[in-house]
Amino acid sequence: MKLLLIEDEPSVISLIQRSLSATGHEVTVAMDGQSGLQMALQHEFDLILLDLMIPVINGMEVCRKIRSSNASIPILMLTALGTTENIVSGLDAGADDYMTKPFKLAELEARIRTLTRRGKEPEKEKNNDILKIGDLVLDKITKTVTRDSQPIDMTATEFRLLEFLLSNQNKVLNRMEILENVWDINFNLGTNVVDVYINYLRKKIDKNHRVKFIHTVFGMGYVMRQTYEDTN
Per residue in 100-114, pLDDT (tens digit) is: 888 888 888 888 888
Q: pLDDT by residue (tens digit) across 168-209?
A: 999 999 988 888 888 765 555 556 888 999 999 999 999 888
Residue 110 identity: A
For the segment 59-88, the average pLDDT, to the nearest whole number, is: 86
Please confirm whether the linkage preceding 74 is cis (ω < 30° from 0). Answer: no
How far is 213 from 205, CA to CA, in rounded Å? 8
Q: What φ, ψ does residue 74 adopt, rounded to 5°?
A: -70, 135
94 three-class SS: coil
pTM over 0.75: no
- 230 confidence band (pLDDT: 50, 70, 90): very low
How far is 147 from 139, CA to CA, in rounded Å? 12
* Residue ranges of E strands in the chain: 2-6, 26-30, 47-51, 75-79, 97-100, 130-133, 136-139, 144-147, 150-151, 211-217, 221-228
- Residue 7 pLDDT: 94
The CA R_g of the chain, rounded to the nearest whole Å, is 19
Instruction: State the distance between the two ends of the chain, measured CA to CA, in whole angstroms.
Output: 60
How far is 138 from 140, CA to CA, in rounded Å? 6
Residue 37 identity: L
How far is 183 from 57, CA to CA, in rounded Å? 26
How far is 146 from 39, CA to CA, in rounded Å? 36
Which stretch of 14-23, 66-75, 163-172, 213-222 has the lowest confidence by average pLDDT? 66-75
How far is 228 from 209, CA to CA, in rounded Å? 9
> Which domains can be identified in the chain, with CATH numbers?
2-120 (3.40.50.2300), 126-228 (1.10.10.10)
Asked if residue 59 lies in contact with residue 101, where contact means CB atoms within 8 angstroms, the answer is no
- Give me the DSSP letters along 164-207: HHHHTTT--B-HHHHIIIIISS---TT--HHHHHHHHHHHHHTT
